[in-house]
């Protein structure tokens, strides 16, 4: 692996560069042009990339643990299997990014744009996704235990089989979301919008949890709990 540690590349132009397997640990790329760069399996642990343009970059298998990626443009980039453990992605643009199987444990994604992103089987345990945009994103079988989705836009997202134990979904928009077979044990659903959502086959979902949501209009639910909610909280279906 090339050794390029603790260097300053701020505002540099690396468009389309081949940086595969290079070591950029703790290096600085603030507001650099990295469009289409190849960082496959590169070491960017704790690197400083705030405001950098990484559109269409290939970061598959890269180590970005603890990296500063605030306000970066990662649109259409490939982060499949990358380590973003405790990384700061606040307000980053991750629209239609491939994050399949990535490690986002305890990452900061507050107000990030993940519209249409692929997070299938990704691990976001304990991550902060407050007010994030995940509209139409794919989170099938993702690990989301203890994740903060307060005020997030999750409309049309796919949570099939996802682990949502003890998540914070207060005032989240889950309109039209697919939560089939998802585990929602202990999740806080207060004020969440489930209009048109699919909750059929969802595990450990209680009457008490659902009685606190904003709406269940046109929501698909298992028979017994649906009947009880309509009897005692009919306003939720109006």
Per DSSP, what are the bridge partners of residue 73?
A: 53, 93
Residue 153's nearest CA partner among 137, 174, 128, 180 is 174
53 close to 73: Cβ distance less than 8 angstroms = yes
- CA–CA separation, 61 vs 67, rounded Å? 14
pLDDT at 192 over 80: yes
Q: What is the pLDDT of residues 21-51, one digit of tens each?
A: 999 999 999 999 999 999 999 999 999 999 9
DSSP state of 59: -
Cα–chain-centroid distance for residue 134? 7
pLDDT at 3 over 60: no
Length of the chain: 238
Provide the pLDDT confidence category of residue 1 given band limits of 50, 70 and 90.
Answer: very low
- CA–CA separation, 35 vs 69, rounded Å? 15
- pTM as predicted: 0.94
Residue position matching structure tokens 């629209």: 95
Residue 178's nearest CA partner among 126, 132, 219 is 219
The whole-number average pLDDT for the span 146-171 is 98
Those residues with Cβ within 8 angstroms of residue 208's Cβ, 6 or more apart along the chain or in another chain: none
Q: Which two tokens stand for residue 228?
A: 């009880």
Q: What is the pLDDT of residues 137-155, one digit of tens each?
A: 999 999 999 999 999 999 9
């Amino acid at each position: 692996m090339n050794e390029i540690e603790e260097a300053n590349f701020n505002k540099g132009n690396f468009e389309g560069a081949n940086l595969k397997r290079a070591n950029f640990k703790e290096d600085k790329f603030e507001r650099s042009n990295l469009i289409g760069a190849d960082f496959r399996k590169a070491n960017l642990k704790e690197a400083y990339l705030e405001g950098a343009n990484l559109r269409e970059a290939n970061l598959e298998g890269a180590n970005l643990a603890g990296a500063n990626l605030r306000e970066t443009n990662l649109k259409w980039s490939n982060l499949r299997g990358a380590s973003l453990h405790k990384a700061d992605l606040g307000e980053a643009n991750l629209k239609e990014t491939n994050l399949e199987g990535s490690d986002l444990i305890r990452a900061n994604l507050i107000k990030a744009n993940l519209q249409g992103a692929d997070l299938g089987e990704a691990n976001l345990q304990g991550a902060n996704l407050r007010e994030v945009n995940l509209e139409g994103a794919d989170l099938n079988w993702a690990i989301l235990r203890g994740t903060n989705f307060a005020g997030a836009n999750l409309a049309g997202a796919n949570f099939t089989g996802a682990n949502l134990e003890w998540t914070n979904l207060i005032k989240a928009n889950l309109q039209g979301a697919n939560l089939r077979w998802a585990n929602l044990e202990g999740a806080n659903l207060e004020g969440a919008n489930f209009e048109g959502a699919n909750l059929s086959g969802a595990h450990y979902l209680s009457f008490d949890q659902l009685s606190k949501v904003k709406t269940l209009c046109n929501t698909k639910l298992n028979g017994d709990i649906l009947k009880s909610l309509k009897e005692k909280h009919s306003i939720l279906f109006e």
